[in-house]
Structure 1
């Protein structure tokens, strides 16, 4: 009897699988990247890229079709795009969603609501703010070897493993809806022959309120999370040093009461010096100690400047409020927000240079 039931079950699976729709990549318009700008009369201008595959379905040889529409909302953008496509539209493979800086500064709350509710979208997709027009960046078609989506997605993923902090849709939504934290997104800039990550955009209640250039991103990541990659250049004497991070760890400590809180941020870095420019020096222990002290002073200064800006903008991208909430039963968000601009935050940096490149 058991074998008979198993046989019937297997037959049913075969029959059911035969009823599933089977469409090739040529029959479906797969949107992998979308960009949004402010259009005329307060409308949204949406631009998408749709890979066009030949009969061989060789993804390496894909060209791209660009469609641009004006609509009243993000959902209407999809509806208007469908009117221009001869194939069914699919957003299940959407990997990157871009927003112009102008649009981000006006506010993305309504768009964020759509992103959080759409079950078709992967929480691992990337969001980014574009210096200039998002549609223009998408249409640039920088390389013939990969689509714009693959190019931008790879750019963000690669840098997330180095200087830039992680920034998926999941990360953004977690900080956006969480208490005691604010979200951030990478900033992209279109150059003549390539796209570059130019910095980080910080948000408050769905609006972009501040940014930092790429030269300060390493320090922000160092304050935000543990990582073991990335490089930082800093002036030293009459030249400069390039530091290669091989292990950075950050630890938060909350002190005081909710009426008078304070924070201690302890950062421990192990690094290698792989390049020195403009310096004619002889290696010695005193030079090594001098370099370590220079790095400590540099990172403390940079970190304090970032924290000062966060307080002035009343944003908490480090999530110190969220950390306090997990440590104090008497945590009160209103009280925390009142104290945050004057919060005493002491940054301590411990630096160890393990290799000196040309001085090995």
Structure 2
């Protein structure tokens, strides 16, 4: 008899749970993108975009509602935004968080602490730094068939499959909290009718200390990680070549004592030249060899300039300190940071042109 009662109670609970009220997307203000700027009197200015869904079956967003508030902290922004919304604010689907460069240059440590502690936020969310106003970028609107958050999420995600390294919240937090490694984020810039990824912003903890233009990101990504795809235009004999990455591999090695280490970074790049403009020569093995030598010279120079910048700004986006920590006992972070600007780093590129595409 007890078994029958237990079964009846379990069935009742299941049916009752199925009857519980479930709020639809129309009944919530779903924030998918938020941007932060420096507000008045050194406060934080937060701007969100909330899709406004129609009543048709496809539930496509036809427009967006923009709300902007000034608050004492990023956490208070959500509270102040709620005061302007007739529906409960939901940030569980937040896909993109943006910070103005002005704010990032003041430091994002408090913001990062909030991001790392909030269980509602996905670690796959993208972060970015806006060269200009985050509010203006969010409110501009770019396409008729997708929201601003979807557009920017797709922009960042698509470029990480090519020249840009991954810059999700997970990647940022990992580098932020790791010893001997510093984070970086994509730089976004609003043009007249579109947004472009204009470079990378490098941080010392939460403080923006350096940036590089998009022309140098292909080289940085080869130094940072193995990858395929990606394209880079290169000068050659008064013209321009378009190099496509078929596959690149990077290998770090460390020699010498801990107080005087020497790094060797070897990058092997297999590439295809699929466009040649302004170079009046036929594709031959001799030309390929000349190209390879020029490419090695070019990338070695670019890499040396990047590493010199990192040492000058005392920022370690390549994670050389973290690499050392995993291979040397008694690693002292303070000593490492003191000696970082004098670190001996030898970069060696090996470029092989595997295929020729169509020359123009």
TM range (shorter): over 0.9
- 2:337 is matched with which residue? 337
CA apart distance, 1:264: 0.6
CA distance in 2, matches of 1:86, 1:6: 43
- CA distance 1:348–1:2, shift in 2 (3 Å): farther
CA apart distance, 1:59: 4.3
CA apart distance, 1:7: 7.0
CA apart distance, 1:12: 2.9
- 2:256 is matched with which residue? 256
RMSD: 1.6
Residues 20-61 of structure 1, C-alpha deviations (whole Å, 9 max, x = no match): x31111110000000011111011111000000011153444
3-state secondary structure, aligned to 1:106: coil
User: What is the 5 A alignment of 1:162-311?
Assistant: 162-311=162-311
Whether contact under 8 Å (2:61, 2:147) holds in the other structure is: no
- 1:31 is matched with which residue? 31
- 1:113 is matched with which residue? 113
CA apart distance, 1:11: 4.5
CA apart distance, 1:8: 5.3
3-state secondary structure, aligned to 2:296: helix
3-state secondary structure, aligned to 2:70: strand
Whether contact under 8 Å (1:35, 1:97) holds in the other structure is: yes
How many pairs are equivalent? 358
CA distance in 2, matches of 1:59, 1:277: 47
Residues 322-346 of structure 1, C-alpha deviations (whole Å, 9 max, x = no match): 1111111222212211221111101
- 2:52 is matched with which residue? 52
CA apart distance, 1:222: 0.6
- CA distance 1:49–1:278, shift in 2 (3 Å): same
CA distance in 1, matches of 2:219, 2:96: 26
CA apart distance, 1:352: 0.9
Whether contact under 8 Å (2:101, 2:131) holds in the other structure is: yes
- 1:16 is matched with which residue? 17
CA apart distance, 1:3: 8.7
CA apart distance, 1:278: 0.3
Unaligned runs of 5+ in 1: none
CA distance in 1, matches of 2:245, 2:10: 56
Runs of 4+ aligned residues of structure 1 deviating over 6 Å after TM superposition are none
Unaligned runs of 5+ in 2: none
